[in-house]
Structure 1
Amino acid sequence: MRKLYLITQAVFLTLFVTLSAIAQEKTITGTVTAFEDGNPIPGVNVVVKGTTTGTATDLNGKYSISVAEGVTLVFSSVGYTNEEVVVAGQTSIDVKMVLNVSSLSEVVVVGYGTQERRDVTGAISSVKSTALKNNPVNSFDAALQGRTAGVQVQQSTGIPGSAIRVRVRGTASIGGSADPLYVVDGVPLNTDQTSDPNAPTSAVNTNPLSSINPNDIESIEVLKDAAAAAIYGSRGANGVVLITTKRGKSGKTAFDLSYMTGVSSATHKLKMLSGSEWMQLYNEARVNDGLAPLGPNQDFTINGVTMTPNTIANTNWIDEVLQTGSYQDVNLSAKGGSEKTKFFANGSYNRNEGMLKGNTFERLSGRLNVDNQASERVSIEGGVGITYTRSKMPKTSYNGGIGAAQSGALNIWPVYNADGSYFGTQLANPATWFNPIAQLEDKYTTHNYRTLGNMKASYKILPELVLSSQGSIDLLTQIEDNYYSPVNRYYNNRPLGASSERRLTNVNLYWSSMLSYNKTFNEVHNISAVVAYDVQNFSNRVAGYYPQGFAGFANSAFTTGSANNLVAEWAATADKANSPTVGYSYLNRYGFISYVSRVNYKYNDRYLLGLSFRSDGSSNFGPDHRFGYFPAASAGWIMTEEDFIKNIPAISFLKLRASYGATGNANIGNSQWFGSYSAGVGYGGSSGLYQTRLANDALTWEKNRQFDAGIDYGFLNNRISGTIGFYNKTSTALLLSYPVQTSSGFSSSVVNSDVVVKNTGIEFDIKSENLVGDFKWTTELNISSNRNRVTDVAGIAPDGFGASEGDTRVIKNQPIGISYLAKFAGVDPQTGLEMIYKVDANGNPTDEKIVATADAVQANRTALGRPFPKFTGGFTNRFAYKNFELEVLFAFSYGNQIYDDGAKVQIGGKLYEWNQRAELLDRWQQPGDITDVPKVTLNPLGGNGYSDNTSRFLYDASYMRLRNIKLSYNVPAAALKKAKVTSCQIFVAAQNWLTFTKYRGWDPEVVRYNSSSAGANIAFGAPYLPTPQAKTLTVGFNLGF
C-alpha cells in the first residue's frame, strides 16, 4: 500500500512539474528582416539555444514559437550574422539580421556565369539593391558614387536626366570612349549618345542609362581588372558593369509598394554683383582706362542695349532661372510562383522637376521576369522591360538657362518691359545676348521608348554539362522635338520661329550560345569551364527635318511658345514657299562576332587558377584587321585553408590573388576605316563629288594590358573584412585623329597612334560589424588612388589632340587633360596689373614676373595643376536600434584642381558685356593694395579677356559631401496584423545636403560635358558656366503585403 502511495505521489509530482513548465511557456511571434533594406527574410532558423527546438520563418519572414521565459532564441541564416535574443517578458520579437558581407558562399556574377566570392581571382566590386532603394536618382550609375573603390562617378550637370561620367580605374583612351561596358542580364547595352545636331545650342544630352529603372535591379558587379573583364575582350577595356535584375521566388505572391516625394534646390549659388555694384565698377573701369565716369542721365550702350545709370535694374538672373524642384517616385512590384515557375513583375513612375526652370524628367517603366523549370533537364528564363522617358532639357552655356544668367544677361537689365513683354527681344540684333527667361519659350524635348527583352533556354546534357542559348533585343526609339519660339524671333535669324524634329531608331540584336562544365574529381580537383559564341548587330536609322523658319501663320499659337501639335500646325498654316525645309536621313550598321573560352581550376579548396581567351571581330575595322585576341590569366591562394593559418582564431579568411591580361577598345564610331565622299561642290557650273574622309583600312583595336594583385581578408569571424588591391594598366595603339601631310588635302586622319597612356593605382576597402545586438552599427569605407600619365605623345603638339576647351591638353609625362596655362604671379601692388611667370626654353616657369597680356599668356603656357584626384572614396555608416535605422554616406575626393573656364570672364575679363562675380569687389583700387584680383578695366589683356588663361582660375576641387542620409522606422509586425501587411517602413532622406570644400566655383563635382570622346576625355576638368547639383529632401514609405 505504501509502495502504491509513493508511486502515485511521484506521478502527481511529475505531472505537476510538467504542467508548471507548460504553464510557463508562451508563444513568441515576430518578423525577421534584413538590416540593410528592411525586406523580410524567409527560411531563417529560429532555435532555442542549446536545444533542437525551433522553427523557421515563412516567405514573409514571419515565425511563431512556444518557449519558456528566460531562454535564448538564436536566429541564423546563410549569408547573415547570427542574432541572439533573450526572452524576458516579450510576446513579440522582431529581429534585424546583418548581411555577412564576406560570406564565403555569396555568389557573384562574373560574366558568362557566376562564382562563389571566395573563389574569385579577379577584382570585382559589388553593389546590392539596398544602395538604390529610396535613393532619389534618375539612373543607377549615379548611385555608385562613394560605394565602390576604383570607380569614379562625376556629374556633367545638375540637370535631371543628363549624362553622367563614369570611369573605372582611370581614363585609358583619348580619342575613343572611356565609358565602361554595361551588361543587363547578360546582354551588352548600347549606350551611345544620340544627340540631335539641330538641337538648341548647348542643350544637354540625356543619359541613356536613365531608361533602366533602378528599382528593377537586384545587384551590380563592376569588373575592374583584366582577368575579370577580358572575358568581354574588345568591349572590356574601360571596365564592365554587370547588372542583374530581380527574379521571382516560389511561394505565395508578395507585393511591395513604395512611394517617395520631395523637393530640391541648388547645392550652391555663386554670388554675383548687384546692379548698382556693377554700375560702380563699370565707371571705375572707365576711369582706369582714362575715360570720364558716366553721368546719372548719360546714355551708354552694351550689347545693343542703351540705358542710363539712373534707369538700370537690379535683376538677380540666377534667382530668376532657379526654382524649388520636386521629386516623385512610385513603385509597385510582385514576386512569387511555384517550385517550377517563378515570376517578378514591377511597374514604376518617376517624375523629377528640376531646380532649373524648363527642366523636367519623367519615366514610366514596367518589367516582367519569368523563370520556368520545364523539366529535370530543361529550364527557361526570360524577361522584358519597357520604358518611356521624357526629358525637357533647358539650354545651358552662355545662351540659355543658368549659363546665360551668369554671363550675357547683365544684372542692370530687367526681365520684362513695362508692357510685360520680354526685355531685349525687340532689339534689332539681340543675338549678342540672351534673356534667360525668354529663352525658356524655346523647347527641347526628348522622348525615349526603350524595350529590353531577352530569352534564355538551358539544357542539362549531364549533371555537370549544360548547353544554353540566349537571344535578346534592345530597341530604342527616340523622338526629339526642337522648337524656337517667335518670342526670340531674331534668334539665329528666324524672326517667326522655327522647329526641327528628329526620329532615331536603334536596334541592338544579340545572340549567345554557351556550353558550361563544372565537376569535382576526387573531392579535391574542381574544374569549371565555359565556351561561347556571340553575335551582336547594331543598326541606327535617323530621319529628320529642319525648317529654316516659320512664315504665314493662320493663328497665334506659336507666339505663346507652345510646342503642342507643332508639326501638324505648321504643315497646315505655314507659307511653305517662304519657309524652305531641309530634310536628312542616314543609316549606320555595325556588328561584332566573338569566340569566348574560360577555364577555372581549384585544388583542395585553396589553390585557384583561371585562364580565359576571347577573339573579337568588329566591322568597325578593315577586313584584314577586324579580329583582336584578348587572353588573361589569374591565380589565387586561399591561405586560411593552410594548417599554419587555419587555427589562428582571429583570421577568418585570407586570400592572395594576381592576374594579367589584355583587353581592347573599338569605341570610335563605325565606318572610320574607309573613305567617304559628298556631293554638291560646284565646278564650272556643274556639281561634283569631294572626299570628306581619308581611308585607312589598317585601323585596329586599341590595346590595354593590365597587371593586378590583391588581398582579400576577413578577421574576427568576418566581422572585419575587405580587400587591398594594386594595378598597373598600359594602353597603346590609341585611335586618334592624327596630323597628316597637307598635300593629302586633309589636316588629320584617324590612325592607331604611338601614344601611350598608363594608369597605376591602389584600392582599399573595409567593412566592419562594429556592434551587434539590440544596437547595431556597421561601417563601410573605400579609398582608391589612380595615377594617370601619358608616357609618349608620338611627337604630337599639345594643341593637336582634337580638344582644347578650357585650355586642357595632352602633354608628355602629364595626365590626360592637364591644364595648359600661364602661371599666375599675383597682382602688382603698385599698378594693379595681373602678372605671370615667364617660362624658360624648356617651358618651365622661372621666377621672373611679367605683365599678363594676351600674347604673353599665349607664349608662357605650361602644364599646371592635377585634373585627377589623388584619391577618392566613400564612407558609409548604418545604425539600428529597435525599429529605427539610420544610414549616412559621405563621398570624398582630394587633390585635384579644376580650371573654372567661366571665371576668367566673370571676374573682370568681360566687365563691359558679362555678368560679374562678387569676388570683383576685392579688386585692386589704389597703390599698395594686396589682392589677387587685378584692377577693373574695359580692356583686360589688351581687350581680350577670353585669353586670360592663367592659373589664377585653377581652383582646388577637393571636397567631402554628405551624399545620402536616411532615417527610417519599421512599424512593428504586431501592429500590422489586422491590416494584413507584412512590413511597413517610413523614412525621411536627404541627398547632397552638406558639402565641405574650398572650391570657388559652382560645384567641385560637376565636370565639363562634351559630346565627342576626345572632348570628354580631355576637357572634363574645365567646366564652363555649369549647372550645380541639386540637394534633395524626400519622405516616403515601403509597404509589403
Structure 2
Amino acid sequence: MPVFMTGTPKAARFMLVVILMHASFCLHVNAQLPQHPGKRAVTLVARQVTIDYIIKQVRQQTDVEFRYVPDEKFQRRLNVNFVNTRLDDVLAFVLNGTGLTWITENGGISIIKASVPAQPLVSKPKPPPSPADTLLITGKSLDEAVIIGYGTTTQRFNTGNVISVKGDTAYSRSVNNVLLLLQGRVAGMMVTQTSGMPGTELKVQLRGQTSLFNGTEPLFIVDDIPYNSILTKGLGSQIWSEKASSFGFINPDDIASIDVLKDADATAIYGSRGANGVVLITTKRGRPGKISTRVNASQGFARVARHVPLLNTPQYLEMRREAFRNDNVATTDKNAPDLMKWDTSRYTDWQKELIGNAAAVTNLQASVSGGTPLVQFLVSGHYRHEQTVFPGPFKNSQAGMHFSLGSAVPGKRFSGTLTGSFFSINSQLPGHDFTAQIMLPPNAPPAYLENGSLNYDWLNPYIGLVGPLFNSNIKNLLGSLSLQYEILPRLKLKTNIGYHWLPGNSGTIILIAMYAPALRPNKTGSWSGNDFESASGIIEPQVTYHTCLGNLSLEAVAGGTYQGYEVKREELTALGYKRDDQLGNLDDADSLSRQFLRSSYRYVAVFGRTKFKWRNKYLLNLSVRRDGSSRYGPRKQFAFFYAAGAGWIFSSEPFMAPLERVLSFGKLRASFGTTGNDQIGDYQYLDRYENVGGTYQGIIGLLPVNLYNADFAWEQTRKMEIGLETGFLKNKLLLSASYYNYRSTNQLVDYPLPDINGASNIIGNLPAVIRNTGWEFVLTGHHLKNKNFEWSSVFNISFARNKLIAYPDPGIGVNAWKDMLGQPLSKKLVFQFRGTDPAAGTYTYTNAQGDAGPAETAVRKIPVNTAPDFFGGWENNIRYRRFQLDMLFQFVKQQGINDMYDPQYMPGFQRNQYINVLDRWQQPGDVAAYQRFTQSGRTRPGYQAIFRSDRGYVDASYIRCKYLNLSWQLPVRTLKQLGLDDARLYVQAHNLFTITGYQGLDPETQSGTALPPLRVMAAGVQLTL
C-alpha cells in the first residue's frame, strides 16, 4: 500500500513534498509564453444575452483576461449559436456594428474604440479543438456548469437529477458547519440539527430511509476525497452524545459549490456507496487575473430564540402542596425542602440563568488570489471564536487555511491542480448540557453564598462550572492533486490523488471540588481521555475521450479507484485521584483502564460512462461500475452496478417553434439503475468476541457475539426516476418536476441463534424490500432585472413517502420490523389516549375491548408517522441600487415528539412544569387535560404511557427564516478614494424567527434537554483590494 495511505505522520510529510514539487513546477511553467488567446475555441448557444454577459462568462471560465470600459454598447442583446469557433471569430461577430474592436496584449484582450469596423465572422470550418480548450456558454442557469461523477455537464444536457448550490455567498461566510448550507435549499434532502451546540451532529437524509439498520447518509466527497460526515462516539463527549459532525472541521467559506446527486444516472457510477445519494463538495480555486485580496470580518452574538412558559413560584408551590394533599402525605424538611426550608417568595428564571446569555461570535476571513493564464493561485485563512449561552467561560475556537495552485504548460497538454486545507479546532465545553436543568424549582436557593462561594446545600446546576469539564483538540488535513495529460487530440489521461488525515484528542475531568467541602475528604477525582486518528488515501486514474461525428457528440470516461482507510482509537480512564492538581497525571491515579480499537477498510473499483448527444436534443448516458470492498464476505466482496439515463429536449423540435415565446425550454428525462450501501461498519462478517463481565483466575474471558458469514453481501437499491424540466419567457422562469421510485432490498439484519451455537447472532441478508417514492418540484425565477432593481428566487418542495413492502419471515425470529409490513418505517403504533378519568383523575387509554381504561390494559392501535408530509425552502435575492437583501425560508410539515411531558418527573414532583399543567384534575367530576398532581409513583404507569401514546406526539410543523443578509455597497467614488475594488457593509441573522404551533423549545430538535438552534445576529464588513 502506498505510504500516503498508511495514516502515519509520514503521510503529512509526503503531502508537503508534493506541494513543494508542484510549486516548483508552477514556477517553471510560469516563465513560458502563453498560448495566443484568440485561438481558444468557444461554444456558445444562447438567446438574448448581452455582450457584457458573454464577455464576463468567457473571462470567468477561460484563461483569457478582458479589459474594457463597460457602457451601453455592451448591453446589446444577441442570439448566438457557435460550436467550436475561435474566440477571435466570436469577438468579430459580437462586436460587429458596435464601433469597437480588440487587441491582444500582455496575454489578455483589450476591447477599444475601432478606427475601422471589426472584422466579420470567418465562416470557414475548422477542426474541433480538444475538450480542454472548449467553453460551453448556453445562457444563464440552464447552462452553468454542474459537477457530476467524474466530469461536468450543464443542466440543459444533464440526464440525471443534480442540484447545485453555490458556496461563495454571504451565507457561507457566516455558518459554522458546511451542511447548514444545504438546509432548505435542496429538494428531497432533510438536514436536521440535533442541538445548538457547535460540533454536534447534523442528520442528513436524501430521499428517505433505504436501510433497516445501517447507515442512510449520502456519500460525501470533498475535492475527490471521500469524507466521513460524523465522528462516532463523539470523542468521548457526553455533550456531543454519540456522534460529532466532522463537517464542523471545514471552513464553509472555502466552499465553491456543492452538487447533490440523487437518481441512478447520477449516482450509479459511485456503485456500492451511492444508494443514499452523493454530495460533491468543491473548494475554491484560483483564477487568472490581477492579484485580489478579500477580507471579511463580522462580530455578533447568539441567543436562544424562544423560552417556554413555565410555572412561577406561587403556581409551582400550589402544585407541590396539592400533590401532597392528593397523596395524603405530610410535608417534611426531607420530602419537601422547597416547601419547608427554601424561601417561598424567591423566584429564579432558570431559562434566563442557564441558557439565556448572549454568546459572542467572532468571524474573520481573508484570501488572496490571482495568476496568469498558465498559473493561478488562491490562499485563504480564517478564524472563528464562539462562546456559549451557558454561564461560564466555555468556548469553541477554530482556525485554518486553504490553498489552491493550478498550472499548465503552454498549449495546455499537461496541467495540474493542487488543493489543500488545514483546520484546527479547540473546544472547552461543559460535560453536560445546561438545558436539562431549566426545569429546576423557581424558588430554589441561590447558586452562590454571600461570600461568593458555590452553594453546595442543594443540587446546584452551577456546580457544572466546576465539573465535569470537557476539552477537545481536533485537526483536519485535506489534500488533493489532479493531473491531466492530453495524449492525443480529444484523448486525455487524468489522475486524482487524495489524502485525508483527521486526528483528535479529548479529555473529561471530574474534580473533587465538585463535591461539598464536608464530603471532599472521602471523594476522589477522575480523568477520561480519548485519542482518535483516521487517515484515508485514494487514487483514481481515468481516461477520457470526446469526439463529434456529424450531429453526434460522444464523451466517454473509464477509470478505477483504490482507497484505503484506517481508524485508530484509544480510550483511557484514570480513577482515584486524591487531589485535583494531579488530574491528567497517570502516575497519580489509583487505577487505570485502557481500550484500544483499530480498523482498516479497503476499496477497489473500475468504472465507465458513455454520453451520447444527437443534434443537441436527444441524450443518452450509460454508466457501469464494479466494486470490491473489505467489508463483505469472501464470496460476496464484488458487485456490479449500472445505470442508464435518457433525455429529450423537445423544445428544439420544429413543431414547438410556435410556442417558443412562451415555452423557451422543455426536456423530458428518465433514468434507471442500481446502487449499493456499504455503511455497515468493518468486520461485521467475521467472528467477533467481547469481554465477559468478570475474570477467572485473573484472566479476562471472551464471549462470542457474532459468527462468520462468507455470504455477507451488499444491500442494493434499484432507482427509477422520470422528470420534466421547462423554461418559460426566455427562461426567466424555470420549473422542474421529478418523480422517483426506489426499491431497497437485500437488507442486512441480525439473525438470532440458539445458545448451542455459542454466539447470540449472525449477520446476514434478508430479502426485505423498502420502497421510497416521492415528488419534487423546483421553481426558479428571474422575476425582474433592470439597472436599479433585480429580484430572483428559488422555491423547492418535496413530498416523500416510505414503506416496507416485503419482509419475509425466515422462521428463526427475525421479526423486529414484521409488524411494520405495509407501513412507513417512521410510523409507530401507539396507545390511543382517551383523556383523564373524571372519577379517579388518572390518564386512560383504549383497551382491547375499545373502552377507556388504565394504562395497564392499553393496546397499541393508533399509527403515528414522524416523517415529514412535505418540506422545502424559498430563497430570495433582491438588489435595489447598492442594497442587497438575501433571505432563506425553510418549512416542514410533520408530527413530532411532545416534549411538554418530562419523562422523569410527573407534575407534582420537585420539578417545574409547563404552565399548561394548571388545567389538571382536582376533584371527582373534573374534565381536565392533565391528571392529578402527585409526588409519589402510584400514578406513574399512566403517566409513562403518555410517551407511547398519540398524546406523546403533536404537530411540529414550522416555517423558519433560516437566513437574512442585508448589505450596502459603497459608491464607486468612495471606493476609488479608498483604493478599493469593492466594499460592503452588512447585517445578517440566522434563525431570525420561527412560525410554529409547537409549544416546546424547538420544533426541529424536539427535545426539552438539548440546546435548540440559536438565533445569531451579526454585523460586518467585506473589502476587496
Deviation at 1:63, TM superposition (A): 11
Which SS does the other structure have where 1:624 is aligned? helix
The verdict on how the C-alpha distance between 1:33 and 1:820 changes in structure 2, with shifts beyond 3 A counting, is farther
Residue matched to 1:77: none
Tell me the amino acid that sits aligned with residue 852 of structure 2: K
Deviation at 1:277, TM superposition (A): 2.6
1:535 matches 2:562: yes
Residue matched to 1:657: 669
Which SS does the other structure have where 1:978 is aligned? helix
Deviation at 1:508, TM superposition (A): 0.6
Residue matched to 1:108: 146
Which SS does the other structure have where 1:280 is aligned? helix
Q: Is the 8 Å Cα contact of residues 835 and 929 (structure 2) preserved in structure 1?
A: yes
Residue matched to 2:966: 967
215-224 or 972-981: bigger deviation: 972-981
CA offset digits 1:419-453 (Å, max 9, x no partner)? 544444x68xxxxx673543553211221111101
The verdict on how the C-alpha distance between 1:886 and 1:598 changes in structure 2, with shifts beyond 3 A counting, is same
CA offset digits 1:27-71 (Å, max 9, x no partner)? xx99x999xx9xxx9778645267413589999x9999999xxxx
Deviation at 1:275, TM superposition (A): 3.8
The verdict on how the C-alpha distance between 1:709 and 1:42 changes in structure 2, with shifts beyond 3 A counting, is farther
Match of 1:726 among 732, 736, 739: 739
Matches of residues 855-1004 of structure 1 in structure 2 within 5 Å?
855-856=856-857, 859-894=858-893, 896-900=894-898, 903-905=901-903, 909=906, 911-939=908-936, 942-944=939-941, 945-949=943-947, 950-1004=949-1003
CA distance in 2, matches of 1:100, 1:356: 53
Deviation at 1:411, TM superposition (A): 5.3
Match of 1:260 among 298, 305, 308: 298
1:850 matches 2:853: yes
CA distance in 2, matches of 1:56, 1:494: 88
CA offset digits 1:923-950 (Å, max 9, x no partner)? 2234454432222123466334444332
Residue matched to 2:208: 170
Tell me the amino acid that sits aligned with residue 633 of structure 2: G
Tell me the amino acid that sits aligned with residue 265 of structure 2: A
- Structure 1, unaligned stretches of length 5 or more? 1-28, 68-98, 428-432, 559-565, 804-808, 841-845, 1008-1022
Q: Is the 8 Å Cα contact of residues 171 and 963 (structure 2) preserved in structure 1?
A: no
Residue matched to 1:496: 524
Q: Is the 8 Å Cα contact of residues 736 and 801 (structure 1) preserved in structure 2?
A: no
Residue matched to 1:1011: none
CA distance in 1, matches of 2:758, 2:219: 36
CA distance in 1, matches of 2:938, 2:830: 15
CA distance in 1, matches of 2:150, 2:651: 28
CA offset digits 1:288-338 (Å, max 9, x no partner)? 22335x3xxx42336x99953656853333222211112111111111111
The verdict on how the C-alpha distance between 1:591 and 1:863 changes in structure 2, with shifts beyond 3 A counting, is farther
Q: Is the 8 Å Cα contact of residues 201 and 240 (structure 2) preserved in structure 1?
A: no
Matches of residues 614-1013 of structure 1 in structure 2 within 5 Å?
614-648=625-659, 649-678=661-690, 682-683=695-696, 688-773=701-786, 774-795=788-809, 811-839=820-848, 846=850, 848-851=851-854, 853=855, 855-856=856-857, 859-894=858-893, 896-900=894-898, 903-905=901-903, 909=906, 911-939=908-936, 942-944=939-941, 945-949=943-947, 950-1006=949-1005
CA distance in 2, matches of 1:47, 1:981: 24
CA distance in 2, matches of 1:990, 1:100: 36
Tell me the amino acid that sits aligned with residue 360 of structure 1: K
Residue matched to 1:316: 349
CA distance in 1, matches of 2:206, 2:687: 34
Q: Is the 8 Å Cα contact of residues 230 and 244 (structure 2) preserved in structure 1?
A: no
CA distance in 2, matches of 1:1005, 1:666: 29
CA distance in 1, matches of 2:225, 2:398: 22
Q: Is the 8 Å Cα contact of residues 234 and 241 (structure 2) preserved in structure 1?
A: no
Residue matched to 1:352: 386
The verdict on how the C-alpha distance between 1:461 and 1:133 changes in structure 2, with shifts beyond 3 A counting, is same
The verdict on how the C-alpha distance between 1:794 and 1:284 changes in structure 2, with shifts beyond 3 A counting, is farther
CA distance in 1, matches of 2:834, 2:866: 21
Matches of residues 286-305 of structure 1 in structure 2 within 5 Å?
286-292=324-330, 294=331, 298-301=332-335
Residue matched to 1:361: 396
CA distance in 2, matches of 1:204, 1:486: 26
The verdict on how the C-alpha distance between 1:941 and 1:747 changes in structure 2, with shifts beyond 3 A counting, is farther
1:1031 matches 2:1015: yes
Q: Is the 8 Å Cα contact of residues 145 and 152 (structure 1) preserved in structure 2?
A: yes
CA distance in 1, matches of 2:435, 2:710: 45
Residue matched to 1:250: 288
CA distance in 1, matches of 2:722, 2:521: 60
Tell me the amino acid that sits aligned with residue 980 of structure 2: V
The verdict on how the C-alpha distance between 1:320 and 1:831 changes in structure 2, with shifts beyond 3 A counting, is same
Match of 1:195 among 229, 233, 240: 233
Tell me the amino acid that sits aligned with residue 559 of structure 2: A
Tell me the amino acid that sits aligned with residue 705 of structure 2: T
Matches of residues 398-477 of structure 1 in structure 2 within 5 Å?
400-406=433-439, 412-417=444-449, 420-424=452-456, 435=461, 437-438=463-464, 441-477=467-503
Q: Is the 8 Å Cα contact of residues 314 and 413 (structure 1) preserved in structure 2?
A: no
Match of 1:390 among 388, 411, 426: 426
Deviation at 1:401, TM superposition (A): 1.4
Deviation at 1:917, TM superposition (A): 2.1
CA distance in 1, matches of 2:966, 2:729: 29
CA offset digits 1:681-727 (Å, max 9, x no partner)? 64577654432332222211111111111011111111001311000
- Structure 2, unaligned stretches of length 5 or more? 1-51, 77-96, 115-136
261-270 or 276-285: bigger deviation: 276-285
Which SS does the other structure have where 1:147 is aligned? coil
Q: Is the 8 Å Cα contact of residues 294 and 1024 (structure 2) preserved in structure 1?
A: yes
CA offset digits 1:72-115 (Å, max 9, x no partner)? xxxxxxxxxxxxxxxxxxxxxxxxxxx99854432110011111
CA distance in 1, matches of 2:237, 2:338: 28
99-108 or 453-462: bigger deviation: 99-108
Tell me the amino acid that sits aligned with residue 831 of structure 2: A
Q: Is the 8 Å Cα contact of residues 233 and 241 (structure 2) preserved in structure 1?
A: no
Deviation at 1:788, TM superposition (A): 1.5
Deviation at 1:284, TM superposition (A): 0.5
Q: Is the 8 Å Cα contact of residues 884 and 968 (structure 1) preserved in structure 2?
A: yes
Residue matched to 2:133: none
The verdict on how the C-alpha distance between 1:640 and 1:384 changes in structure 2, with shifts beyond 3 A counting, is same
Tell me the amino acid that sits aligned with residue 631 of structure 2: N
Residue matched to 2:43: none
Tell me the amino acid that sits aligned with residue 614 of structure 2: Y
Match of 1:371 among 382, 385, 406: 406
Which SS does the other structure have where 1:300 is aligned? coil
Aligned length: 910
The verdict on how the C-alpha distance between 1:769 and 1:542 changes in structure 2, with shifts beyond 3 A counting, is same
Residue matched to 1:1040: 1024
Match of 2:375 among 331, 341, 344: 341
CA distance in 2, matches of 1:168, 1:494: 53
Which SS does the other structure have where 1:911 is aligned? coil
542-551 or 228-237: bigger deviation: 542-551
The verdict on how the C-alpha distance between 1:391 and 1:793 changes in structure 2, with shifts beyond 3 A counting, is farther
Tell me the amino acid that sits aligned with residue 99 of structure 2: T
Q: Is the 8 Å Cα contact of residues 122 and 225 (structure 1) preserved in structure 2?
A: yes
CA distance in 1, matches of 2:111, 2:978: 19
CA offset digits 1:149-206 (Å, max 9, x no partner)? 1111110111122111111111212311111111112221133423257544774743
Deviation at 1:587, TM superposition (A): 1.7
TM-score between the two structures when normalised by the length of structure 1: 0.82
221-230 or 940-949: bigger deviation: 940-949
Q: Is the 8 Å Cα contact of residues 596 and 615 (structure 1) preserved in structure 2?
A: yes
The verdict on how the C-alpha distance between 1:128 and 1:636 changes in structure 2, with shifts beyond 3 A counting, is same
Q: Is the 8 Å Cα contact of residues 404 and 434 (structure 1) preserved in structure 2?
A: no
Which SS does the other structure have where 1:120 is aligned? coil
Which SS does the other structure have where 2:321 is aligned? helix
**Alpha carbon RMSD of aligned pairs, Å?**
3.4
